[in-house]
């Protein structure tokens, strides 16, 4: 397994396609949620796209990390179905965290609250609906 962190402009067309396809397969198709999966944050110069690959080169998971004025944000964290339950999601997320310094915020799907709490995140606001899926704002640091 290996991890990389690059801006969108550093990815080849096929690498960008692979990243967006995995996210769309999970967040739009699997979760049956029609929303703008690809947004302007993806192309921002300070956004880092984390990619995790198996030894054979198969894309296992992705995440994105980007700064704002006072904190870091981690989002679009997902792992391919075949790799769930293997500990790869935690390794991916720990790598994403290693790309930050200072406070980190994220918007967690509510059923994943406890999973994010194991990394020191706490709920910092009320639950809300985001395109039909309950979410919680969470913060660490």
Give me the CATH number covering residue 60. 3.40.630.30
Residue 111 lies in a domain: no
Residue 64 lies in a domain: yes
- For residue 56, what are the domain limits? 2-101
- With a pLDDT cut of 90, the percent of the chain lying above it is 85
Give residue 73's pLDDT.
97
Q: Rounded mean pLDDT of 62-81? A: 94
Q: Rounded mean pLDDT of 96-100? A: 96
The answer to whether residue 57 scores a pLDDT higher than 90 is yes
Q: What is the pTM of this model?
A: 0.91
> In whole angstroms, what is the distance from residue 3 CA to residue 90 CA?
13
Q: Count of CB atoms within 10 A of residue 16's CB? A: 18
Residue 133 lies in a domain: no
The answer to whether residue 31 scores a pLDDT higher than 90 is no
Q: Name the nearest CA neighbour of 97 among 81, 126, 118.
A: 118
Question: How many domains is the chain partitioned into structurally?
Answer: 1
């Amino acid at each position: 397994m290996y991890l990389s962190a690059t801006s969108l402009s550093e990815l080849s067309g096929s690498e960008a396609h692979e990243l967006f396809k995995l996210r769309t397969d999970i967040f739009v198709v699997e979760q049956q949620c029609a929303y703008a999966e690809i947004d302007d944050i993806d192309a921002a110069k300070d956004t880092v796209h984390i990619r995790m690959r198996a030894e054979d080169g198969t894309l296992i998971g992705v995440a994105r990390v980007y700064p704002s004025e006072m904190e870091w944000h981690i989002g679009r964290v997902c792992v391919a179905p075949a790799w769930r339950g293997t500990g790869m999601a935690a390794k991916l997320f720990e790598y994403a965290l290693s790309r930050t310094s200072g406070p980190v915020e994220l918007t967690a799907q509510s059923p994943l609250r406890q999973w994010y709490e194991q990394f020191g995140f706490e709920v910092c606001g009320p639950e809300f609906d985001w395109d039909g899926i309950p979410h919680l704002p969470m913060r660490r640091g």
